[in-house]
Amino acid sequence: MSGTSWIAADWGTSNLRLWAMGADGAPISERRSDRGMGTLSPDEFEGAFLDIAGDLIGDGPCDVVICGMAGARQGWVEAAYATAPCAPTAATATHVPTRDTRLNVRILPGLCQMSPPDVMRGEETQIAGYLAGAPDFDGVICLPGTHSKWARVSGGMVQTFRTFMTGELFHLTATQSILRHSIGAGWDHDAFTDAVAQGFNAPGRVTTDLFSLRAASLLGRKDGASIRARLSGLLMGVELNGAQDLMTQGDVVLIGAPDLCEHYERAIRVIGGGAKCADATAMTLAGLIAAHDRLKEDQT
C-alpha cells in the first residue's frame, strides 16, 4: 500500500493503536491490535509491528513515532524520561534499531518528576496534543485511567504532575477484598455523589468507610449497586482531595475514556469545580503529530 508518509503509534500495556499518516498530515487509515507491551518480549516488538503495519510501509524509508509503554524498561527499547517541569512534546526521542531497514522507529520519552517521585508514559503525548490546539492553556489536565494523572500545565510546560492509583485500587477492592461479596451490578448515581463528598471531606476515614460498606451489606442496609457506586465515589473523593492543590479557577480538562470522564466530571462538580472533556484518541494523534513535527525540525 502506498501513500503512507509516516506512522504514528500509541503502544500501551494492553493495546497498540496506529495511524498511517498521509503527506498532507492527515491520517489515511487506523489500525488496532491487542498485542500490547505487556504481551511482548523486547525481540517480539518488530515482528508484531510488521504483522499489523507491514503492508502500509511500501519501499520505505518510513518514520514511525511511538508513545507509551513500548518505551518502558520491559518494552521494545527503554526511552529515558524527560524531567518535569518541561514541555510535554519531546525534543528528542530514542531511536530503535530494526532488522527491517525500511523502518526509522523512534520512541518518545515519558515524563518523570523527582519530588514527589512520579512518572507517566503516553499521557504526556495526550497533553501535548491538547496543547497543540490550545498553546496558551493555563490550568489542570486530568487523565483518568487505571492510574489517573493530574498535570498542572502553563507556559506550554507540564509544571508538576501527580498519579493516583484510584482505578487500580477500585478494581482490587471490588474483586479481591472482602467487599467483593457485597458488590453488585448496576450503579446508583446518588450514592456515588454522596460518597465523593464523603471521601473528599474526610479522606482519613477512607479505609474504615470501605469496611463500613461491607458491614452495611451484612446488616442489610445497602444493596450491591449502591455499594459499587460508593466504593468508586469514596476513592475518587480521596483523589480529588489529594489533587485539589493542583486545581485552578478554570475547568479541569479531562482526557480519557468517555464513561470514566463522565464519572470524573460528576465528581468534580460535587466538590464545586467544573470540567470539560477532550477526545482521548484525538489528543493522542495530535500529540504524535506534534512530536513528529518537532523531531523533523530538529533534523533540519
Q: Where along the sequence are the contacts to its own copies (CB under 8 A)?
A: 73, 81, 112-114, 116-119, 147, 162-166, 168-169, 172-173, 176-178, 200, 202-213, 215-216, 218-219, 221-222, 235, 238-239, 241-244
**CA geometry: angle at 4 spanning 3 and 9, to 5°?**
160
Q: Do 137 and 292 contact (CB within 8 A), yes or no?
A: no
Closer residue to its own copies in complex, CB, 209/265: 209
Closer residue to its own copies in complex, CB, 46/188: 188
Closer residue to its own copies in complex, CB, 100/168: 168
**Distance of closest approach, residue 59 Cβ to its own copies, in angstroms:** 39
Cis check for the bond before 116: say yes or no (omega within 30 of 0).
Answer: yes
Closer residue to its own copies in complex, CB, 83/248: 83
Give the three-state DSSP class for 3: coil
How many Cβ atoms sit within 10 Å of the Cβ of residue 205?
14
Q: How far does the chain reach from its first CA to its final CA, in angstroms?
A: 28
| In the block, residue with C-alpha cell 461491607 | 214
**Distance of closest approach, residue 68 Cβ to its own copies, in angstroms:** 15
Closer residue to its own copies in complex, CB, 157/206: 206
**Distance of closest approach, residue 50 Cβ to its own copies, in angstroms:** 30
Counting Cα atoms < 13 Å in the Cβ hemisphere of 221 gives 6
**Distance of closest approach, residue 263 Cβ to its own copies, in angstroms:** 16
Cell readout for 127 is 497533553
Instruction: Give dist(CA 290, CA 300) in Å, integer.
Output: 16
Instruction: Give dist(CA 147, CA 60) in Å, integer.
Output: 37
**Distance of closest approach, residue 122 Cβ to its own copies, in angstroms:** 15
Closer residue to its own copies in complex, CB, 40/64: 40
What residues contact 135, with CB distance under 8 A and at least 6 apart? 156
**Distance of closest approach, residue 240 Cβ to its own copies, in angstroms:** 8
Closer residue to its own copies in complex, CB, 176/300: 176
Tell me whether residue 38 is exposed, middle or buried, using C-beta atoms within 10 angstroms of its C-beta: 0 to 12, 13 to 18, 19 or more: middle
Closer residue to its own copies in complex, CB, 148/284: 148
**Distance of closest approach, residue 86 Cβ to its own copies, in angstroms:** 15
- Written as one string, the DSSP assignment of 243-276 is HGGG--SSPEEEEE-HHHHHHHHHHHHHTT--EE
**Distance of closest approach, residue 219 Cβ to its own copies, in angstroms:** 6
- Classify residue 155 as left (phi > 0), alpha (psi -120 to 50) or beta: left
